[in-house]
Structure 1
Amino acid sequence: MRYPSTSPLAVNTHPIGEVPLGTSLRRSSAAPVPRPTAVILDLFGTLVAAPSAVERSAAAAEFAAVMRVSAEVVESALSGSWRARHDGQLRSTTEVAIHLAARCNASTACTDELEALLARLAHHRLRTDETLLHALDELRDRGVRLGLLSDASPDIAEVWRRSELAPHFDAVVFSCRAGAVKPDRQLFVAALGELRVAPIQTLYCGDGGGDELGGAERAGIRALRVARRGGMTGLAFGEIAWHGTAIPDVEALPSLLDRWGIDE
């Protein structure tokens, strides 16, 4: 889950809907853009709903009950530890639990219970819609290789294989395993390497948090914004104004690829 330490920035985008290919998705008529053979997808806010303020507060209350501290102390610890939990400083759910307990000045006796809570919340966070799973199946039926690239903490990475999303992906890159957070170029390069595709063959799709769309383009990958799953009130940070193509959700991707080049 993502607990930002800064306020989300305003995002300026094209209206979400059936839109023609934006500037990031096409070249001149003399050099048509090839249809993507691979799609790299963000996780939170793209495949699963971004957490709301209410969900954030509820999670903080659960952590507070386990550690016997106030919810305010937990909120501060989660916000202050975001980078350490996501950039590889902490390598396991156990280490995350120990780190949070220390930041909250909680007893080490609660570590096992805290670790179990982290795993349970992570599993819940990875639930998604059947319509999205069907869209992923459609993409793979069309021969498209799918990659996941996400800023994620070890608790998410450890429960990923047991999620209903995992079987749909050919490659997965989590920031906590790669040792960097978006928009670091090495994350996009790692995803391309795992998929064994070139940037020109690839489309990156995300809701825009963490300057991921700009990061993808700087790595030579065409980028596409999807409306934040769970609504624009979902928590995110580091957004940069986006003027390229936008679609309502991942479910729209199969039809977009089917008409690739027709709208140009």
Structure 2
Amino acid sequence: MVLDLFGTLVAAPSAVERKAAAAQFAEVMGVSPSVAEAVLSDSWQARHDGQLASATEVAAYLVARCNATAGRVGELEMLMARLAAVRLQADATLLRALEQLQHGGARLAILSDASPDIAEAWNRSELAPHFDAVVFSCGAGAVKPDCLLFRTVLRELDVAPHQAIYCGDGGGDELAGAERAGMRAVRVERRGGPSSLVFGETAWSGRAIPSVEALPSLLDSWGTR
């Protein structure tokens, strides 16, 4: 079982939350919120596709793009670490569902577009112990729906495509990408609600469930655990 992270296991941020985070970035760097917002938006690709290898590099990149002083890098990196820890907090119901899947024999993997600050915070999160494999875009060097990501996670789990199920909220054309890779795909309603922001979403007419919490019952009905 391969799971998306943002919008699937943890809430995708809303426009209000993104704006609040940008304001914190702006305060740390000593620039206007509008500058920080623009740079964060324009740098999404670079922060997620492996161009920047660490949270330190991300912080330095953002400081340079905002024309802030280099001395702000360390403080910005600390802010990013705090925000990443908050973003990775999971609902108790979700953690119980993951435990059910594990106890039922499912091997679990994460496949997510993520920046290095998220990747570095992952092992300290409540989610990490539940997963056998983790593939983040910043480490793999590609973003969804690049087939490289799906091949990589299948290799990490050591399963054939037809043996794997992909579950996500649909951002980044991930569901179609999973099917092109030979996997079955299931859509979940976006965690965080319809106001949460998502990029690259496409129409989906396949199997859908309300949340990851419904996966144990779905797999039992399929007899796949």
Structure 2 length-normalised TM: 0.98
The letter for the 2-side match of 1:243 is S
- Whole-angstrom CA distance in 2 between matches of 1:241 and 1:257: 24
Decide which of 91, 95, 99 is 1:129's aligned counterpart.
Answer: 91
Say whether 1:111 aligns with 2:81. no
What is the CA–CA distance in structure 2 between the aligned matches of 1:232 and 1:244, rounded to whole Å? Answer: 19
SS in 1 for 2:110: strand
Task: Say whether residues 1:91 and 2:53 are aligned partners.
Answer: yes
Give yes or no for the alignment of 1:188 onto 2:150.
Answer: yes
**Post-superposition offset of 1:125:** 0.3
Alignment match, 1:154: 116
* Deviation (angstroms), 1:54: 1.2
Q: CA deviation at 1:53?
A: 1.1
Root mean square deviation, CA, Å: 0.6
- Out of 169, 172, 186, the position equivalent to 1:224 is 186
Q: Which runs of 5+ in 1 are unaligned?
A: 1-38
Higher relative contact order (CA 8 A, sep 6+): 1
Structure 2: gaps spanning 5 or more residues: none
Give CA-to-partner distance per residue, 1:197-239, whole Å, 9 cap, x none.
1111110000000000010000000100000001011111101
Matches within 5 A, 1:199-238: 199-238=161-200
Provide Cα deviations, 1:64-111, integer angstroms capped at 9, x if missing partner: 100111111011100110000000000000000000001100000111
How far apart in 1 are the matches of 2:157 and 2:184?
Answer: 15
Q: Which secondary structure does the structure 2 equivalent of 1:259 belong to?
A: helix
Superposition map of 1:23-172 within 5 A: 39-172=1-134
Distance 1:198 1:132 in 2: 26
Structure with the higher helix share, 1 or 2: 2
Q: Percent identity among equivalent residues?
A: 70
Specify the SS of the correspondent of 1:183.
coil
- 3-state SS, counterpart of residue 218 of structure 2: helix
Tell me how far 1:260 sits from its aligned partner: 1.2
Letter in 1 for 2:140: A
Give the alignment's TM-score, normalised by structure 1: 0.84
Q: Which has the larger radius of gyration?
A: 1
Give the whole-Å Cα distance in 1 for the aligned partners of 2:43 and 2:19: 16
Q: How many angstroms does 1:158 deviate by?
A: 0.3
- Which of the residues 214, 217, 220 maps onto 1:252? 214
CA distance in 1, matches of 2:110, 2:66: 32
| Aligned residue pair count | 223
